[in-house]
Amino acid sequence: MRSGFASVVGRPNVGKSTLVNALVGQKVAITTPVPGTTRHAIRGVLHRPADEEGGEDAQVVFVDTPGLHKPQSVLGTRMNEVAREQLGGVDLVIFLVDAAAGIGRGDAYVAGLLADAPVPVLAAANKVDRLSRAAQLPALAALDALGDFEEVVPISAAAGEGLDTLTELILARLPEGPPYFPPEMASDQPLERVLAEIIREKAIVRMREEVPHSVAVVVEEVGPGESEGVTAVHAVLYVERQSQRGIVIGHQGRVLGDIGRAAREELELVLGSRVWLDLRVKLMKEWQRDPKALQRLGY
């Protein structure tokens, strides 16, 4: 059997979480149009059984990482630390860029971090479905020029283009080893974090032009509801300033209600039951810049 860990790295908003979800075959990481959505290292597991032609069983543990960027807060610095930590202790790195946005200085910075990587590095040009065929070759050439990569692969994580090729290139570079997770397991995230991330995703989408980076979510309790077959989820949305609290709640609670309704649908799929969702909004001043607050919030 072949098995191993593969980190997906790149600057913010290149599609790392979308790629991990697509490779795993189900949603394990939240995705939004807002850069900096991913704050933790999230592991998603691909189980590949042996094929009829004699191929080996394989398991890949993909590690989704926060986008590497110039930090503006303690949270940003911590996110960069999390991403860099995932460059060690893995068997493979997938360097992802947004080909449609163009190869820029942020990509060159990440490529520089990978220059001395002790493991194989595959470079993937994402979102090529947004480029004409004539524009794809220059984009691939620009990516190739950033480093000494084992392969440069054009893909579209959202459209599913090129993912079979990328998967085969990954599997071919895995060492022989044991399975790290049972076959029914797609991620190792604690349930409370999964639920909190779903709520945060819905908050970001609902308020993407307002306060998405200032919102943190903590699920405080999950347990039986007052009615049979109902799970009660108690969660808190933390903001940094009093004015943001009013924005998150909205006039007559409409914004918070929209967030709750959108989140409840997905929480019910995860929990396999009806959900009673208790959402509250609390102030934690300048939490992005407070190391103690970040620790309390799980960062």
φ/ψ bin of 216: left (φ > 0), alpha (ψ from -120 to 50), beta (otherwise) = beta
Report the interhelical angle of 254-271 vs 242-249 (nearest 10°). 70
Report if residue 214 sits inside a domain.
yes
Report if residue 184 sits inside a domain.
no
Q: How many CB atoms neighbour CB 88 within 10 A?
A: 10
User: Can you give the CATH number for the domain in which 229 is found?
Assistant: 3.30.300.20
* Last-in-domain residue among 108, 141, 172: 172
**Domains: count for the chain:** 2
pLDDT at 54: 55
Task: Give residue 286's domain range.
Answer: 191-296
Confidence of residue 16 (pLDDT cuts 50, 70, 90): very high
Confidence of residue 53 (pLDDT cuts 50, 70, 90): low
pLDDT in tens, 83-130: 988 888 899 999 999 999 999 999 999 999 999 899 999 999 999 999
pLDDT at 88: 86
* Last-in-domain residue among 172, 200, 217: 172
Report if residue 217 sits inside a domain.
yes
Mean per-residue pLDDT for 169-184? 93
In a shared domain, residues 135 and 6? yes
In a shared domain, residues 20 and 154? yes
Contact (CB, 8 A) for 6 and 63 = yes
pLDDT at 280: 97
* pTM of the complete model: 0.92
In a shared domain, residues 134 and 205? no
In a shared domain, residues 166 and 203? no
Mean per-residue pLDDT for 258-285? 96
Report if residue 177 sits inside a domain.
no
In a shared domain, residues 199 and 113? no
pLDDT at 52: 47
In a shared domain, residues 205 and 283? yes
In DSSP terms, 223 is beta-bridged to: 232
Tell me: pLDDT of 15 over 90: yes
Report if residue 183 sits inside a domain.
no
N- to C-terminal Cα separation, the chain: 35
In a shared domain, residues 59 and 200? no
In a shared domain, residues 292 and 166? no
CA-to-CA distance for 73 and 23, rounded, in angstroms? 32
Alpha-carbon distances of 47 from 2, 9, 190, 279, rounded to whole Å? 10, 21, 20, 36
In a shared domain, residues 18 and 162? yes
pLDDT in tens, 181-239: 998 899 999 999 999 999 999 999 998 777 778 999 999 999 999 999 999 999 999 99
User: Can you give the CATH number for the domain in which 135 is found?
Assistant: 3.40.50.300
Provide the percentage of residues in the chain whose pLDDT is more than 90.
82
* Last-in-domain residue among 107, 142, 172: 172
What average pLDDT is seen over the chain? Answer: 93
What lies within 8 Å, CB to CB, of 74 at 6+ separation is 288, 289, 290, 291, 294
Alpha helix stretches (DSSP H) within the chain: 16-24, 74-85, 105-113, 133-144, 163-172, 191-206, 242-249, 254-271, 291-296
Contact (CB, 8 A) for 186 and 255 = no
Confidence of residue 74 (pLDDT cuts 50, 70, 90): very high
Report if residue 45 sits inside a domain.
yes
Report if residue 17 sits inside a domain.
yes
Confidence of residue 149 (pLDDT cuts 50, 70, 90): very high
In a shared domain, residues 71 and 147? yes
Contact (CB, 8 A) for 199 and 234 = no
Structure tokens at 46: 């691909």
In a shared domain, residues 159 and 275? no
Q: How many CB atoms neighbour CB 296 within 10 A?
A: 14
Structure tokens at 128: 């090529």
Report if residue 257 sits inside a domain.
yes
pLDDT at 50: 78
In a shared domain, residues 290 and 204? yes
